[in-house]
Amino acid sequence: MLQTQHNPGLAAQMSPRHFLDIDTYDSATLRFILNCAHSLKKAFKSGTGSKPKLAEGAVLAMLFEKSSTRTRVSFDVAMRQLGGETIVLNHNDMQLGRGETISDTAQVLSRYVDAIMMRSTSHEKLIELAKFATVPVINGLSDKSHPCQILADIMTLEEKKGLLEPLTVTWVGDSNNVANSWIHAAVRFGFTLRLATPKLLQPAMSFVEWARAEGGKLSLHEDPAEAVAGADCVTTDVWVSMGQEAGSEQRIALLQPYQVNEALMAKAAPGAIFMHCLPAYRGMEVSAGVIDGPQSVVFDEAENRLHVQRAILAWCLGKV
């Protein structure tokens, strides 16, 4: 059964329930959203039983400054399945693309829709949107983080490997927006996270210091083999994130020794899984043999975006 009571009365408070970053919520709230995602997955995948219409009558605006397949489609489908509707807004088709301010956009959209999901080139814009919106704002990826992705990854990790706390996850490659959200999640869900990156591409110290101050089990490595040894999950992402294309040759050169291939995966624990948020570039950050091989769970991970999106929407709309 879907649990529908957590923080009773919170929805009635003035401030909307934004979903901007994993570190801004306590572990209990994140666990609650994740449990909702598991319950909704069961409800929507079973042929029988109730499929709660938790977004009945609600409209989600989806605002994109960058390309998207999974985030766009999973939010759209999740909203429809919950009884709501969506509007897709591309930055360049809006007055925003001609210089209208984020604050005016936020206030206008808040008069029309019940929630806004934004994929932004800059995290500051998302913060500004949330500051001026009177409806919930969801981070659908920024240059800083990708919290919806990582909740789906955590859901996948616990489906495949069970209890999170004893697990070790190793991130290999560029320390980007996705890696930053892994750092947040490791602290809030209590698992060990090792990050293997070239020295020049280490995560920003603000993330590392935050994790250490919160008691997170985090270690930084330059040697991918050392970081992967005995890990339960090995994960990576593109070497060149959206918006980083200019001058990416040096980044790609630095990352050559960080490809997740069969030799590297062989150092992980027996039964270790491979994750990647997708889109992936075979022959770059991951070999075809690994991403298309038996240890890869990338399509379960992509599917879980849909299940997590339902839970995030229901939570932001104050329906759970």
How many CA atoms does the CB half-sphere of 261 hold within 13 Å? 9
Active site (annotated) includes residue 233: no
Query: What number of CA atoms fall less than 13 Å from residue 218's CA on the CB side?
Result: 26
Catalytic residue of the set 17, 18, 70, 119 = 119
Active-site annotation holder among 36, 233, 277, 316: 277
111 is an active site residue: no
- Residue 126 binds ligand NVA (CB under 6 A): no
| By the rule CB under 6 A, 237 interacts with ligand NVA | yes
Stretch that binds ligand NVA, among 7-15, 85-93, 238-246, 310-318 (CB under 6 A): 238-246
How much is the CA Rg of the chain, to the nearest whole Å?
Answer: 19
For residue 74, state whether it binds ligand NVA (rule: CB under 6 A).
Answer: no
Residue 241 binds which one of ligand NVA, ligand CP, none, with CB within 5 to 8 A depending on kind?
ligand NVA
Q: Cα(32)–Cα(37) distance, rounded to whole angstroms?
A: 9
Site for ligand NVA contains 241 (CB under 6 A): yes
Q: Which is nearer to ligand NVA, 43 or 152 (CB)?
A: 152
Shortest distance (Å) from residue 18 CB to ligand CP = 19
Number of residues that bind ligand CP (CB under 6 A): 8
Residue 68 within binding range of ligand CP, rule CB under 6 A: yes
d(CA 216, CA 191): 8
Read off the tokens for 45: 């995948």
141 binds ligand CP (CB under 6 A): yes
Residue type for position 174: D
CB contact at 8 A, 289 and 264: no
Dist. CA 191–CA 275, nearest whole Å: 16
23 closest CA partner among 145, 149, 109, 169: 145
Answer for which of 77, 108, 229, 242 binds ligand NVA (CB under 6 A) is: 242
Sole binder of ligand NVA in the list 157, 164, 178, 193 (CB under 6 A)? 178
Distance between CA 84 and CA 59 in Å, rounded? 6
Q: Compute, in degrees rounded to 10, the torsion defined by CA atoms 34, 40, 42, 48.
A: 170
Q: Does 144 bind ligand CP (CB under 6 A)?
A: no
Counting contacts by CB under 6 A, is residue 22 touching ligand CP?
A: no
Residue 71 sits in the site that holds ligand CP (CB under 6 A): yes
With CA atoms as reference, report the closest residue to 273 among 294, 303, 299. Answer: 294
CB 184 within 8 A of CB 213: no
Nearer CB in complex with ligand CP: 68/105: 68
State the minimum distance, in angstroms, from the CB of residue 77 to ligand CP. 13
| Residue 19, beta-bridge partner list | 138
Binding site for ligand CP (CB under 6 A): 68-71, 141, 149, 277-278
Binding site for ligand NVA (CB under 6 A): 141, 176-178, 237-238, 241-242, 277
